[in-house]
Amino acid sequence: MRSEYIKINRSKLANLIMHISGKAYSWCLTNSNTELSLPEYALLSRWLKLLQQGVPLAYILGFREFFSRNFWVNSNVLIPRQESELLVEVAINSVTAWESCKFKKKIKILELGTGSGAVIISLVLELIKRGIHVNAHATDLSKNALSVAKNNALWLGADISFSRGNWFDAFKLSKQTFDLIIVNPPYVGLNHSEYLSKRELSFEPKLALYGLNPSSDGMGDFKKIINGLKENTQTGSVLIMEHGCMQKKQIRILLQSSGLSNFEEFNDHSGLPRLVKVRL
């Protein structure tokens, strides 16, 4: 590409024009001429500049669709990934299979490291739709991420309580136990070159990608979470945890060495190992 030319992704461009003009996405994608007022054109130019700098589309527009709902996002939260929808699907299937749901018992659910709140909010709303009663709680270490998650919960009408803390330390005094714990921890390691080369990632929070104490293999937070399980779960509780597609073997070794042998592994929709469900 010659230096005076800018490469623009057609679908991203159509997405920006859709939000400015109010026309349908398919219309913006297929029509070669769009009439914009001068302020609309100025906004489009500003957005294109950000896109060219590598700013993710979701941060430019301020939201991302996840599990068929729109979630507010900003640079304080990880942009919810499509792969993480599997976390919601596996959690729904697990809870709906529980006998206790049939007796209207409230299922106690916890999400650790909630970010935008997209995962726990989707799960809560989907369970309510199925007539299941839940008592939901979400945590994060980042105060700014929690305020995004709270706004999303409010705007989408999900009843969730939030607290701030370093993994299970958020409950140190209350010693709560949960039936289901879901978590998508930071798992990018300092030697994961396949992630580090992605320009878009440099706009997302370091805490969400690498964690508080970055490590070469990105396994540090998995270890902390597994270590904290005993105090906040009971026999029969379930942990559903997302991991990087190259970490399946390390996760398996970690679980086995922690005496957790009752687990099931799941691939995402692209066929990559992505999730583990552990029965405690």
Ligand X SMILES: C[S@@+](CC[C@H](N)C(=O)[O-])C[C@H]1O[C@@H](n2cnc3c(N)ncnc32)[C@H](O)[C@@H]1O
The stretch among 18-26, 153-161, 207-215, 258-266 that binds ligand X (CB under 6 A) is 207-215
Burial class (CB in 10 A: 0-12, 13-18, 19+), 24: exposed
Q: Residue 190: how many CA atoms within 13 Å on its side-chain side?
A: 7
Residue 120 near residue 111, CB atoms below 8 Å = yes
How far apart, in whole angstroms, are the C-alpha atoms of residue 225 and residue 219?
10
Considering only 145, 158, 180, 239, the residue that binds ligand X (CB under 6 A) is 145
Closest CA to 29 of 6, 11, 44: 11
Phi, psi (rounded to 5 degrees) for 277:
-115, 120
Nearer to ligand X, 18 or 241 (CB): 241
Q: Which of residues 39-58 bind ligand X (CB under 6 A)?
A: none
Among 1-9, 94-102, 136-144, 190-198, the segment contacting ligand X (CB under 6 A)? 136-144
220 binds ligand X (CB under 6 A): no
Shortest CB 56 distance to ligand X, Å = 13
DSSP H helices in 36-140: 38-52, 57-61, 85-96, 118-129
Number of residues that bind ligand X (CB under 6 A): 23
Among 14, 51, 86, 119, contact with ligand X (rule: CB under 6 A): 119
Residue 141 engages ligand X in binding (rule: CB under 6 A): yes
The residues of the shown chain that bind ligand X, judged by CB under 6 A, are 78, 80, 84, 113-116, 118-119, 139-142, 145, 166-167, 184-186, 207-208, 211-212
